[in-house]
Structure 1
Amino acid sequence: MRLDVNDVSVTLARADIVKSVSLRVEDGRFVGLIGPNGCGKSTLLKSIYKVVRPSAGGVILDGTDVLRASPKTVARMMGVVGQFNELSFDFTVREMVLMGRTPHKKLLDADSAEDERLVEEALLTVGMLPMAGRSFLSLSGGEKQRVVLARALAQQPRFLVLDEPTNHLDIKYQLQILSLVKSLGIGVLAALHDLELAAAYCDHLYLVKQGRIYAEGPPRSVLTREIISEVFEVDCQIYENPVTGGLGIAYLESGRVAASEAAAARTRS
Structure 2
Amino acid sequence: MELVAKEIEVKIGKKEIVKNISIHVNKQQFVGLIGPNGCGKSTLLKSIYKSLVPQKGMVFLDDLDVLKSPEKKISQHLGVVGQFNEMHFDLTVQQMVMLGRTPHKKMLESDNQKDFDIVEEALTRTNLQSYRGRSFLSLSGGEKQRVILARTIAQQPKFMILDEPTNHLDIRYQIEILSCVKDLNIGVLAALHDLEMAAHYCDYLYAVKDGGIYAHGTPQEVLTPETIETLYHIKCQTFTNPVTNGLGFAYGL
1:104-130 deviation line (CA, Å, top 9, x unaligned): 100011001111111122112112221
User: Any idea what SS the aligned residue of 2:249 has?
Assistant: strand
User: Any idea what SS the aligned residue of 2:67 has?
Assistant: coil
Superposition CA RMSD, Å = 1.0
Larger Rg: 1
Counterpart CA distance in 2 for 1:99 and 1:2 is 25
Residue 163 of structure 1: aligned partner: 163
Residue 233 of structure 1: aligned partner: 233
Residue 102 of structure 2: aligned partner: 102
Residue 10 of structure 2: aligned partner: 10
Which ranges of 4 or more aligned residues in structure 1 deviate by more than 4 Å?
A: none
Counterpart CA distance in 1 for 2:72 and 2:85 is 20
Counterpart CA distance in 2 for 1:236 and 1:126 is 34
Q: Contact 1:204–1:218 (CA<8 Å) still a contact in 2?
A: yes
State the TM-score, normalized to the length of structure 1: 0.92
| 1:221 and 2:184 matched | no
Counterpart CA distance in 2 for 1:92 and 1:50 is 28
1:229-265 deviation line (CA, Å, top 9, x unaligned): 0110000111111232110101113xxxxxxxxxxxx
User: Any idea what SS the aligned residue of 2:22 has?
Assistant: strand
**What are structure 1's unaligned runs of at least 5 residues?**
254-269
1:57-110 deviation line (CA, Å, top 9, x unaligned): 111111111000000100010111011101122221111111100011000110
How far 1:219 moved relative to its partner?
A: 0.3
Counterpart CA distance in 2 for 1:91 and 1:244 is 38
The AA in structure 2 aligned to 1:184 is L
Among all aligned residue pairs of Structure 1 and Structure 2, give the percentage whose two residues are the same amino acid: 59
**What are structure 2's unaligned runs of at least 5 residues?**
none
How far 1:203 moved relative to its partner?
A: 0.4
Residue 123 of structure 1: aligned partner: 123
The AA in structure 1 aligned to 2:140 is S
Counterpart CA distance in 1 for 2:140 and 2:245 is 33
| 1:150 and 2:150 matched | yes
| 1:79 and 2:73 matched | no
How far 1:225 moved relative to its partner?
A: 0.3
Residue 262 of structure 1: aligned partner: none
Query: How many residues align structurally?
Result: 253
Residue 26 of structure 1: aligned partner: 26
1:194-214 deviation line (CA, Å, top 9, x unaligned): 001100110000000011000
